[in-house]
Amino acid sequence: MNKIDRRDFMKLAGLGGVVFASGLGVRALGAGRESEQLRAAKGEFYFVQLSDTHWGFDGASVNPDSQGSLKKAVAAVNSLEEQPDFVVFTGDLTHITEDAKLRRDRLAQFRDIAGSLKAKTIHFMAGEHDASLDRGDAFQELFGKLNYSFDHKGVHFVVIDNVSDPSATVGAAQLKWLQSDLSRVGKDAPLVVLTHRPLFDLYPQWDWTTRDGSAVINALMPYKNVTVFYGHIHQEHHFMTGHIAHHAAKSLMFPLPAPGTVPKRAPVPWDASAPYKGLGFRGVEADLRNARYEIAEMPISKA
């Protein structure tokens, strides 16, 4: 397993690897964009990943605009010149509460805000803050299944739940489902896995792991084109397990320190000189012909 930085990814792409991360921006997010029809003809599409919105969080020293950050991000996505094919929220939609009614209220408020996205299709996923205290009951009432799959323009997307079990396991039943789901897909098919926690042991000391994540990775290993997008760690992070690339997204509420760089995992305090620093969302452009994904990290302050 190897940690890789943005430059390494560019080298990997140059060698015919499966992923290309660029700070220059996804075409659809900036200049030089092409029509949706033309991109479709070239085997390209793009989606937006938002993560760790923590609706309901209250902590002025960490984010004095806790009521506004999500709305700003929604406005930023809506202002994109070309709307994404879909938007995915990779968990921790709401901030933890032990009050079951308040949890439902927060999830409902979140759903209403997300409902103002222009994108026609939105995929929701749970984080441990949404689902660990009630095994995902409230989430399922409002958003549907915790794990599922869907196909989009030739890419098979698999949503894996590694949060509704408080012990952060995927579990035998879901692993069986995953293997059954994958059996319908060719070994060369482009696969994207969406999940909340890292599937590998990023930093177990901070609970940045999935206890049986290696079983998921083993199930994915026979497939040649696999990319994982996840959240949980509130920062951009890129990692390889064999040929499988894992990309963590930023939060829309507060950033967290790089793994193991400080004694305690705690939110990075708000920087008044650089509001919304460390927060953001990403656009992912799929280039199916070349089997790669171009990632553009977008700041929340652009809203």
- State residue 142 phi and psi, 5-degree precision: -95, -30
Q: Look up residue 288 and give its two tokens.
A: 């199916």
Contacts of 63-68 with CB under 8 Å at 24 or more apart are 63/253, 63/254, 63/270, 64/270, 65/275, 65/276, 66/253
Helix and strand numbers, DSSP H then E, in the chain: 8, 13
Q: How far is the CB of 63 from other proteins (least distance, A)?
A: 16
Degrees, nearest 5: CA angle 112-113-114:
95
Residue number with CB closer to other proteins (186 or 260): 260
Q: Is 219 in the site for other proteins (CB under 8 A)?
A: no
Q: Which helix (H) or strand (E) holds 244?
A: strand 244-248
Residue in this structure with the two tokens 């999935």, named with its chain if needed: 210
The nearer residue to other proteins, 161 or 285, going by C-beta atoms, is 161
105 binds other proteins (CB under 8 A): no
Task: Report, in Å, the least distance between residue 3 CB and other proteins.
Answer: 17
Beta-strand pair 86-90/2-3: unpaired
Select the residue interacting with other proteins from 22, 97, 109, 140 (CB under 8 A). 97
Q: Contacting other proteins (CB under 8 A), which of 7, 101, 264, 289?
A: 264
What's the one-letter identity of residue 138? Answer: A
Distance in Å, CB of 110 to other proteins, minimum: 17
- Does 167 engage in binding with other proteins (CB under 8 A)? yes
Considering the rule CB under 8 A, would residue 204 count as an interface residue with other proteins? Answer: yes
CA–chain centroid gap for 71, Å, is 18
Tell which one of 206, 214, 277, 291 touches other proteins (CB under 8 A).
206
Q: In whole angstroms, what is the distance from residue 112 CA to residue 114 CA?
A: 6
Out of 265, 275, 277, 299, point to the residue binding other proteins (CB under 8 A): 265
Select from 95-103, 145-153, 213-221, 294-302 the region that touches other proteins (CB under 8 A): 95-103
Of the residues 128, 130, 161, 285, which one makes contact with other proteins according to CB under 8 A? 128
- Counting residues that bind other proteins (by CB under 8 A) gives 20
Residues that bind other proteins (CB under 8 A): 96-98, 128, 132-133, 163, 166-168, 201, 204-207, 211, 263-266
